[in-house]
Chains A and B, each alone.
Chain A
């Protein structure tokens, strides 16, 4: 396994992540035992408590949750292609990308990226590039579910 990308329904809780990766447990364990990994970097995207309100000059507005829309199956394919590309470009040992679909509440995780490589520099560069390209190219949208005040 070089790169693995999955879209998961709901927040990326520890249980959801474990369930999503369960079919790949053996290959992940083999990777950890392989001796080639000198750096592991994990990034978590978390839903903030405010989001810019497009209907009010982008002023920050309190959120209850974000609803992630995906254009399926293109989103799954594009996420996997991006993971393949970034893993290859930065000579990663492996790259795991998980992204939520559907409702994710404030404070919950919507995106997980884990990079393994021989050295830290590759993992840092890979994480940054992956996120930049994801936000530009992938058919995934977030819709605000505004917090009801009062």
Chain B
């Protein structure tokens, strides 16, 4: 099985918790947005509190769980937003 490591941009409380604007996850290819969220939960348990209603943006657009993800994509964790 082919594995890749991908950065995921994090914001807000996740940013504070990670002490960085991004975290890395190692996932098997081919992968989906749901796979990335599952990998975040498994490999970064300190972010679990942000993941219950989290979504993934792939290349600046909200992804569906089955959206394919590859190593060249820009990924962002969209969770616990709070504008206003």
Interface residues, chain A, with chain B CB atoms under 8 Å away: 45, 54, 68-69, 71, 73-74, 77, 99, 110-111, 131, 134-143
User: Smallest distance from the beta carbon of B16 to chain A beta carbons, Å?
Assistant: 7
Q: Is there a chain A Cβ closer than 8 Å to B2's Cβ?
A: no
Write the chain B residue with the least CB distance to A54.
Answer: B13
Q: Is there a chain A Cβ closer than 8 Å to B76's Cβ?
A: yes
Whole-angstrom distance between the alpha carbons of A45 and B76 in the complex? 26
Whole-angstrom distance between the alpha carbons of A110 and B84 in the complex? 7
Interface residues, chain B, with chain A CB atoms under 8 Å away: 9, 11-13, 15-16, 57, 60-61, 76, 78, 80-84
Pair A71/B84 contact, Cβ less than 8 Å: no
Pair A143/B84 contact, Cβ less than 8 Å: no
A-B contact pairs, 30 of them (CB 8 A): A54-B13, A71-B9, A71-B11, A71-B57, A74-B57, A74-B61, A74-B76, A99-B84, A110-B84, A111-B83, A111-B84, A131-B84, A134-B84, A135-B81, A135-B83, A135-B84, A138-B81, A138-B83, A139-B11, A139-B81, A141-B12, A141-B13, A141-B15, A141-B81, A141-B82, A141-B83, A142-B82, A142-B83, A143-B15, A143-B16
